[in-house]
């Protein structure tokens, strides 16, 4: 009976340890909760969370890492949209099925707008990567705000360019091209809007 009692005693000691043991997903869980809470401050929280939750492991609970991830996602989406518009413009301008002039002009203008947005977001991401995480205090806080003001300006300009893209289709008759372009551009705008909101949040938290 003694061996059985010892085994039981050993199990009673081990079980609490097994119950409280937490594998590696804990940091990711913390990062996921942080991203969800941060996305609650944006205009499109569901889009924000779905596009950034995969970065939980690297973001952890860092506003700076989250802002960089958001800007990187915005850049990727805007680049993809610009490539789509370039291809669509080539196809729409050729052959007997070419789009009417208003739609063709709106496409060209939209492509220019998206190209400008790509440049602005790329500049923002480069600046964020150069900054790294700067904890505030004295001159460093002022320097952080000064450099981040460029990021805020560029991201705001990028969002304006994306909005201008869809504004250019207001006088274009309803059709597949208008619906498709405006729908896709609308999703890109949401991601960029969220990125700008998270950049602003980063600035406010790092250098209030």
Pick the closest to residue 207 from 140, 160, 156 (CA basis).
140
pLDDT value at residue 7 = 53
pLDDT value at residue 83 = 97
Token couple for 116: 């400008």
Given a cut of 60, is residue 176 above it in pLDDT? yes
Given a cut of 50, is residue 17 above it in pLDDT? no
Average pLDDT for residues 43-51, to the nearest whole number?
98
pLDDT digits (tens, 9 = 90+) for 59-80: 999 999 999 999 999 999 999 9
Instruction: Please tell me the CATH code under which domain 71-206 is placed.
Output: 1.20.140.40
Average pLDDT, the chain: 84
Task: Please give the C-alpha separations between residue 99 and each of 96, 102, 103, 104, 180, in angstroms, as whole numbers.
Answer: 9, 8, 6, 6, 14
pLDDT digits (tens, 9 = 90+) for 183-206: 999 999 999 999 999 999 999 988
With pLDDT > 90 as the criterion, what percentage of the chain qualifies?
A: 62
Distance from C-alpha of 194 to C-alpha of 39, rounded to nearest angstrom: 8
Distance from C-alpha of 195 to C-alpha of 202, rounded to nearest angstrom: 10
Given a cut of 70, is residue 101 above it in pLDDT? no
Given a cut of 60, is residue 24 above it in pLDDT? no
H-type helices in the chain, by residue range? 2-20, 25-39, 45-52, 56-59, 63-92, 101-131, 138-167, 176-206
pLDDT value at residue 94 = 59
Pick the closest to residue 39 from 47, 30, 29 (CA basis).
47
């Amino acid at each position: 009976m003694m061996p059985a009692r010892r085994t039981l005693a050993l199990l009673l000691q081990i079980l609490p340890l097994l119950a409280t043991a937490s594998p590696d997903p804990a940091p990711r869980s913390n990062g996921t909760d942080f991203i969800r809470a941060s996305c609650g401050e944006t205009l499109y929280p569901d889009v924000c969370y779905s596009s950034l939750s995969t970065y939980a492991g690297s973001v952890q609970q860092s506003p700076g890492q989250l802002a960089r991830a958001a800007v990187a996602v915005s850049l990727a989406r805007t680049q993809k949209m610009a490539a789509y518009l370039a291809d669509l413009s080539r196809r729409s301008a050729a052959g007997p099925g070419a789009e009417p002039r208003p739609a063709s002009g709106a496409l060209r203008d939209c492509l220019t707008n998206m190209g400008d947005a790509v440049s602005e977001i790329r500049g923002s991401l480069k600046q964020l990567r150069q900054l790294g995480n700067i904890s505030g205090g004295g001159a460093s806080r002022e320097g952080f705000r000064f450099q981040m003001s460029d990021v805020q300006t560029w991201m705001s300009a990028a969002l304006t360019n994306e909005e201008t893209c869809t504004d250019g289709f207001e006088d274009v008759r309803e059709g597949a091209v208008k619906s498709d372009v405006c729908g896709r551009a609308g999703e890109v705008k949401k991601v960029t809007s969220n990125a700008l909101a998270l950049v602003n949040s980063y600035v406010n938290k790092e250098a209030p």
